């Protein structure tokens, strides 16, 4: 019996070892097929900049506002809102649709302070995880309720737009937008693409301060675009990430949207407070869809909330409190509007200084487009090879498409930047 027991114990030991080996083999194979994700072209620029020990390094890659000393900015209006919030409010869950007060104030910025659409409750709107979250939520809504549709996206556009609609499994096409030779808008080709798209197509439009080009249609061109959308029955989805940040006037920056509203379109809008309130890390924004009537708006909002539920359940509270506190108080809102204009004016001033410095250096190229363009970014026209030289020889970091973040330029580095740009482009 002792020998039998010994044999059984040995067999059990072998069984356990084999089982462990099988479990180990099975577990290690679960993720063997996973390949490293490609680096984000924008965030990768910052990583390289931070790793560079050079004291002369300059980062004009990332779209985040800096003051004239190159430091991040927290607006006074935001600080005051946070002071009022601190210790006075709880941190309970928001509803799936987010802060009702924040959404109400946000709609006024886009649709107008006295909008009839707000008054008639025709807008389905929810708080979103900034502009990215609003775009993704709409893309999923489009896929669920218009499953056979596709989205027309400008060429070029913010790179994440393609990621968002791709992951929502919405087919994409591009339409002409930027004209490389003039470094302006390719309006005739854009209009041809609108006319040639199938009736009832979805189009993604940048409401203002187009990213990455800084090229916007004129008011008259927006009217022509709106008219042609009406003829074709297209749906316009506006991504408005820079309201107030482009011209310094939120109403002026919403002109494209107001034109479409005046012409009777039903539109969708993504709004973000990352840039115009500096709430980059708070991830606060809004998605809205203009509907036929109040009943339809209630229905659409219920479905937007249903989509949000398995994604993130409900949005964060702190940023929403900051926004609603600022926009809900006349004095704080007045201060915020003043601060928005200061930021926009500084960027406009940097455009002028960069162009003047390049022209003083005797550059053989025209740099008029620097001041013609608007918003945070300048589409410089530099080639990837020229951008590589800027990084290698001058420690200047930007995306390889030549996009310059004007917010990264200040009076201390604008001369150095201009000299470097002149050196790598003068032979062109």
Which residue among 158, 222, 336, 367 is the active-site one?
Answer: 158
Is residue 345 part of the annotated active site? The answer reads no
Beta strands 178-179 and 151-155 are: unpaired
- The reply to whether 192 belongs to the active site is no
Measured between alpha carbons, how far is residue 25 from residues 18, 20, 21, 196, 281 in Å?
10, 8, 6, 55, 41
Rounded Cα distance, 116 and 187, in Å = 32
H or E stretch covering 157: none
Q: Which of 140, 186, 239, 253 is catalytic?
A: 239
DSSP letter (8 states) at residue 329: S
Question: How far apart are alpha carbons 147 and 241 in whole angstroms?
Answer: 26
Answer for the pair 286, 128: CB distance below 8 angstroms, yes or no. yes
E-assigned strands of 42-150?
58-59, 123-128
Rg (CA), the chain: 26
Place of tokens 């209630």: 298
Q: Are 272 and 266 in contact (CB under 8 A)?
A: no
Out of 275, 301, 336, 367, which one is annotated catalytic? Answer: 275
Please say if 368 is a catalytic residue: no
Whether 213 and 178 have beta carbons less than 8 Å apart is answered as yes
Select from 154, 46, 130 the least CA-distant residue to 379. Answer: 154
Hey, which residues are catalytic here?
158, 239, 275
């Amino acid at each position: 019996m002792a020998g039998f027991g010994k044999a059984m114990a040995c067999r059990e030991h072998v069984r356990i070892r084999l089982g462990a080996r099988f479990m180990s083999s099975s577990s290690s194979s679960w993720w063997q097929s996973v390949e490293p994700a490609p680096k984000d072209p924008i965030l990768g620029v910052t990583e390289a900049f931070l790793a560079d020990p050079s004291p002369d390094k300059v980062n004009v890659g990332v779209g985040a506002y800096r003051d004239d000393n190159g430091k991040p900015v927290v607006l006074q209006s935001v600080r005051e809102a946070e002071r009022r919030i601190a210790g006075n409010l709880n941190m309970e869950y928001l509803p799936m649709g987010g802060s009702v007060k924040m959404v109400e104030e946000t709609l006024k910025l886009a649709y107008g302070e006295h909008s009839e659409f707000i008054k008639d409750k025709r807008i389905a709107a929810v708080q979103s995880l900034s502009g990215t979250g609003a775009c993704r939520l709409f893309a999923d809504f489009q896929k669920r309720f218009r499953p056979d549709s596709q989205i027309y996206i400008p060429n070029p556009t913010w790179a994440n737009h393609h990621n968002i609609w791709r992951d929502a499994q919405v087919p994409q096409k591009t339409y002409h937008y930027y004209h490389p030779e003039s470094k302006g808008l390719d309006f005739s080709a854009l209009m041809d693409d609108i006319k040639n798209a199938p009736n009832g197509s979805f189009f993604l439009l940048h409401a203002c301060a187009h990213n990455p080009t800084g090229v916007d249609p004129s008011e008259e061109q927006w009217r022509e675009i709106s008219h042609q959308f009406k003829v074709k029955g297209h749906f316009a989805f506006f991504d408005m990430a820079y309201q107030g940040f482009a011209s310094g006037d939120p109403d002026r920056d919403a002109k494209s949207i107001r034109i479409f509203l005046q012409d009777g379109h039903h539109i969708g809008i993504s709004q973000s407070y990352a840039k115009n309130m500096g709430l980059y890390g708070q991830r606060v924004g809004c998605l809205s869809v203009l509907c036929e009537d109040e009943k339809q708006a209630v229905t659409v909002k219920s479905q937007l909330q249903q989509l949000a539920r398995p994604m993130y359940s409900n949005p964060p509270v702190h940023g929403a409190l900051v926004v609603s506190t600022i926009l809900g108080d006349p004095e704080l809102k007045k201060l915020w509007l003043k601060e928005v204009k200061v930021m926009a004016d500084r960027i406009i001033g940097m455009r002028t200084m960069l162009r003047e410095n390049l022209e003083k250096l005797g550059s053989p190229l025209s740099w008029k487009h620097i001041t013609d363009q608007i918003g945070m970014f300048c589409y410089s026209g530099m080639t990837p090879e020229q951008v590589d030289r800027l990084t290698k020889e001058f420690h200047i970091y930007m995306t390889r498409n030549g996009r310059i973040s004007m917010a990264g330029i200040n009076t201390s580095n604008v001369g150095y930047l201009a000299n470097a740009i002149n050196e790598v482009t003068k032979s062109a």
